Structure 1
Amino acid sequence: MTMNSIMATERDLRLHITMKPILSAEEHDALVMFFTWTGFFATIVGIFSNILVIVTYAKIGFSDTINISYSALGISDLSNSVIRLWGVMCYFFVVTNTHVPFDSSSITVTTSFFPGQGFEKTTAFLTAFIALERCLCVQFPLHVKRIVTKKITVTSIVIIFLFTFIPSNFIHMVFPLKWVFSPAQNRTILAMIPLQTPLRYIIQRVLLAYYGTVLHFTALIAVWICTVFLAVGLQRTVKIRKDTFKNSNAKRDRQRERRVIKTVFLLAVTYLACSTPTAITLLVPHFVPEFETSRGLERISRVSHMLSSVMTQINASTNLFIFIYMGSKFRETFLTLFRKKISTPLKVVN
């Protein structure tokens, strides 16, 4: 061990011992409970809103490729909301000491955290794909129908799901669920028992790097670039004079295309706003190593991770409201789901 490493170790140990927590225990517990309940309500909204999104687009039909992408986004957000809700419920089980037949504090790793990461990144890449599709429409309006076909759209969506969600299930290989005896409950319960092998640490580190760095920042950068192009495209459509339209159909098609671009732009901006806390949380430990290990910062770290999770769930809950606000056809079809059908008058029997 070199002299520099010895000095660094002593410095970290001294910081760990002497540095006082920034948040008090009461403040930390209050913030944790606030973010827990906020996440709980956000998941409930996300479940119902995304079900409505899927049902509405199924009723509209999939003649347009953008409707297929919107539906896939709804499926991903719905799955993420369900899994996140399960994670919140597991936390409530721990806090309330509920005697459920499983160790709720451990099984969340394989049944909520990693699957949630998978669907979170699926949503991110679907958002990037949708934004890219609209960018192609702006740049190549006469050729986009040949570039983005239904087959290409469905194939791209399947590939996104395969590369973002499927790897999250590899965690079950090294963190299996087993039935073990619990002295506290005096019965056999289901718990996560990590394997004590080098393979476990390799897979765990690879998955954390894959989801926490590679996928997250790749999707973030892609959405940022596409959002800039969409903003330029919106400005271009505004500058087009009305007299350039030869007929009312061309004008109507142009207005519809502009609404779609604005819808995708709002989806992208919402994703960027909600992903920023996660990006900051992931980057801070690279510049402040004590963020994850220091006694004085561990509470801040835990709260920041919870805030990131809540913002991710909020992003999964807002699509319905964006579609209702921006899409006239979606809004009209959505409202028909709640309209009562006019019943035929009953015949009067003499």
Structure 2
Amino acid sequence: MSTLACTALALPAGVAVAETAGVVSAVDIDSRRQLVTVFSPAMDKPIPVQVIRAADTEHPRPTMYLLNGSQGGPNESGWDAQTDAVSFLRDKDVNVVTPVGGASSYYTDWVRDDAALGRNKWQTFLNEELPSVIEGYLRADGNRTVVGVSMSGTSVLNLAIAKPGFWNSVASYSGCAQTSDPIGQEFVRITVENWGGGQSIENMWGPRNGPLWRANDPLVNAEGLRGTEVYLSTGTGIPGAPHDTPADKRVQEGRIPLPVQIAFGGPIEAAVHFCTVNLANRLRELNIPVTLDERPVGTHSWGYWEDDLRSSWPFLARSVGSRTN
């Protein structure tokens, strides 16, 4: 969805009203893909949303919400530019919805506007505003799954915990489930302040010793995942083939220098592995079913997440009743 050779679609007058969530515009990318702009009252702004319509639209179909990582998706930083997700999902019996934006926001509701990152009320948008609008627009069937990677791997767990029964399933690829302990808070700080240029993580969930940090910690609130099908994946941080070698297509195309991927992605994934295994163990203690894909190697990088999408597809398809393999 990076290249927009598009045709604008005319929408009826009054489709979007400033005080209510609604479709503002829709632009064709090709016969199956659109860039749909949805107004968010909570954030008081329009949000671009990439859409792939289900392969078969004769009847209502389920919806997959595929969230981008810490950069939010624009400028070649998301699923469409970094993976083969578009081609892989084109023949699937689901609608695919990917919001663009929310860099370093953790796709959560911030307690204060941030001087650098603005107003972030993403949990409200993703749990309350977007689904009814976009699923109505796509004639969806009400079955839905939400998939996140890295930063949004944490977010999708919190989305499911915040609204039990709303999501059929959740998949977290390399997401750190611990946010309220010192290690987890430092991971959040690096994502928000160092990488994202945010003013302060306290604009997100308040003081570090405040209640909102625990309220947004999936490990602490793992009981809230009961009734939602859970898929977790993680590497160990140990570089491995094929993605941590010169053979990886992203390395060959110059999208990321291999030494950088290994030097930064290795330690990050090692930390993520710790968080992910802790969450899986906690869910098992609570007798909540969980599927864990624990790879013996792998850094924090897109090649592995491309593999994760393919590996988890049978789980996701079954959870929403999709008929496609």
Q: TM-score, normalised by structure 2?
A: 0.26
Q: Which of 1 and 2 has higher RCO (CA within 8 Å, sep 6+)?
A: 1
Q: TM-score, normalised by structure 1?
A: 0.25
- Larger Rg, first or second structure (1 or 2): 1
Bigger strand share: 2
